[in-house]
Chains A and B, each alone.
Chain A
Amino acid sequence: MAKVDKSLPLEYQTEQSRLNILGFWIFLGAEVVLFATLFAAYGSLKDNFAGGPTPAELFKLKDVMIETLLLLTSSFTCGIAIWYMRRQNLKGLLTWLIITLALGAGFVFVEVNEFIHYVHEGATMQTSAFLSSFFVLLGTHGLHVSIGIGWAILIIIQLMKHGLTPTTARKTFIISLYWHFLDVVWIFIFTFVYLARMGG
């Protein structure tokens, strides 16, 4: 059943690859529902401060802008990496993939610092419902990014070991879908969680 169709891009060439990519799109659909539910929980609880800190007191625009810049740029560099992949340029692919990961790691670093800062201010997830839902929503996203970084490192190792084959191309393509998805989720986060509450 290995129908190899050379007219398609490398990652779509085998039957199994086409199944995997479709499967991953459906998985992303499930992830949309997952994040939508977290947003809904946040939406119901976002004004329950229980006498604790409010967003106006806590949020710092500078950190959020840095995180946004890092993550959005990493999505762009991820796109460049796939562009190189389509041109069978392994070196270009690897370079831009590593840059993407570095930017992603930077995002995680800044976000972890942001959370540590909040905790020092006495705003933990046990403080109020608002903070519980804030930390779980942001934390889930951050965890997804961190796992994505680890996963991408595995793919990079495999690319270096096997080169650019239909299988490694598919794996790279799939993780790029994942990465772009996390970027889209971040746009919703920084709009509805941060920007909407900055004024206080």
Chain B
Amino acid sequence: MKKGILVSLLAIVPLFILSGCESMVVFDPQGPVARSITDLINWSIVLMAFVCLVVFGLFGYIVWKYRATKDNADYEPEEHGSTKLEIVWTVIPFLIIIALTIPTVKTIYALEDIPEDYKDQDPIVINVTSADWKWIFSYPEEGIETVNYVNIPAGVPVEFKLTSAGTMQSFWIPALAGQKYTMYGAETDLYVVADNPGSYEGQNTSFNGKGYAEMKFEVEAKTLADYDEWVDEVKETAPELTEEKYKEIIKPTHLGRMTFSNTHLEWIDHGKGGDSNYYLNPELYRVHGYPGKTFEKNEESNGGEEDAH
């Protein structure tokens, strides 16, 4: 019996080996923000592995030593407890929690701002608007906009200001940073720095309907010089975005990459709430099944005023 339990525990080991094949992006950070999280995770794995060792060890020993055999058929012990032991196995886990809390809180606070080594630089601000089923990147300082891909300069802090044109989504570039939700009428921040030029994948992790699985975007980190060159090229050659075209883009479709030489912030900032009805298209979301009724856009109640949240 006991051997069987051992076997199933050991079966987990080959899984570890198998999985080593593909590199785990969380353990391969490409920027200081992701690195601070990876360091925290590694520390937690050490402490949690210790806990597992103790529990598994005690478990294996006790189940083996105290199993029922023909020899101990009459054995009927009584034992109630030990206050001393209770204190030990309350205090030690508590200490482990403290050992985890301190670096956790430090990292939480550190992530709210530009990483330490880059604090002397001004961050490049990029507004991210998540929509169904695409990502829209607006570069307010540069005055350009891209859809489904974003270029950033490597080695320069980037401040992503996140919001959503509709459903709640989550902006995640695992190689560079943790994720943050995007919500209509609110603006969240995410600081990202890419150590080196390269291509990194980003995706949405917050399920938002039929097209969710395809909500990936590419982050390309270029050298600062290449980045500036690219911005100039876009401003010169890319088409203009009109409000009508933007309204089309917001509809629930899958689009490829697009580039524009102005931003939609000229007429709407979804992070500030406002005239949301103009962009809502409930009828376009119908799938199979009995159609429920949708509600008339209430024109009166939408004076474009900002609501307190």
Contact = CB atoms under 8 A, between A and B. Distances in A.
Nearest to B296: A126
Given A127-B301, A128-B301, A48 B295 contact: no
A55 to B, nearest CB: 14
Contacts of B300: 51-52, 122, 127
13 contacts: A47-B307, A47-B308, A48-B308, A49-B305, A50-B305, A51-B300, A51-B301, A51-B304, A52-B300, A52-B301, A127-B300, A127-B301, A129-B307
Contacts of A128: 301
Q: Is the interface of B mostly helix, strand, loop or mixed?
A: loop
Interface string A109-149: 00000000000001000111100000000000000000000
Interface residues of A, number: 11
A52 B298 CA distance: 11
Nearest to A128: B301
A126 B307 contact: no
Contacts of B301: 50-52, 127-128
Contacts of B303: 50-51
Given A51-B300, A51-B305, 10 more contacts: A47-B307, A47-B308, A48-B308, A49-B305, A49-B307, A51-B301, A51-B304, A122-B300, A126-B295, A128-B301
Interface of A: 47-52, 122, 126-129
Nearest to B309: A48
Interface in B284-309: 295, 298, 300-305, 307-309
Nearest to A53: B301
Nearest to B295: A126
Which 6 interchain pairs have the tightest Cβ spacing?
Answer: A51-B303, A47-B308, A50-B301, A48-B307, A52-B301, A51-B305
Contacts of B305: 49-51
Contacts, number: 28
A49 B308 CA distance: 9
B307 A127 contact: no
Nearest to B304: A51
Contact of A50 (B295, B307, B309): B307
A129 B302 CA distance: 12
Contacts of B309: 48
Nearest to A126: B298
A128 B298 CA distance: 10
A126 B299 CA distance: 12
Nearest to A44: B309
Contacts of A129: 307
B231 to A, nearest CB: 38
Contacts of A126: 295, 298
A49 B301 CA distance: 8
Contacts of B302: 50-51
A146 B303 CA distance: 37
A56 to B, nearest CB: 15
A132 to B, nearest CB: 11
Nearest to A130: B307
Nearest to A48: B307
Contacts of A122: 300
A127 B309 CA distance: 17
Interface centre among B295, B300, B301, B305 (most CB of A within 10 A): B301
A18 B225 CA distance: 82
Nearest to B308: A47
A48 B273 CA distance: 11
A127 B298 contact: yes
Contacts of A52: 300-301
B288 to A, nearest CB: 28
A121 to B, nearest CB: 12
Contacts of A50: 301-303, 305, 307
Interface centre among B295, B307, B308 (most CB of A within 10 A): B307
A49 B298 CA distance: 13
Nearest to A49: B307
A12 to B, nearest CB: 39
Contacts of B304: 51
Interface in B192-208: none
